[in-house]
Amino acid sequence: RIQRGIVALRAGNAAVAAAELRPVAEDPAFAAADDLRDVRARVLSLLAQALLDAGDSASAARFARESLGMLRALGDADGQREVRDLQ
């Protein structure tokens, strides 16, 4: 699903990208996997981008905030910069 979401986002299909990425971002097992926090933070960022492109700025902001918090905790300065550029 992540790959399909990325492909759709790159192709300009924001709604399709969001539909692929949202279930991954909201998956409880994925959220609980501490060893995948960096991957989840990036998925949240991609979802925020897709939602923003699809015109859902409120949902995009929510996922961007969550991603940004995770990236801060991970010390991922590049990821933080990417998410801040979305907002």
The H or E element containing residue 19 is helix 14-25
Summarised one tens digit per residue, pLDDT across range 7-45 is: 999 999 999 999 999 999 999 999 999 999 999 999 999
In this prediction the pTM is: 0.92
Residue 6: its pLDDT value, please? 96
Helix axes 37-53, 57-74, angle to 10 degrees: 160
Summarised one tens digit per residue, pLDDT across range 41-85 is: 999 999 999 999 999 999 999 999 999 999 999 999 999 999 999
Amino acid at 78: D
Nearest to 5 by CA among 33, 43, 60: 43
Pair of tokens at residue 17: 């990208």
CA distance 40 to 38: 5
Residue 75: its pLDDT value, please? 95
Pair of tokens at residue 53: 């492109």
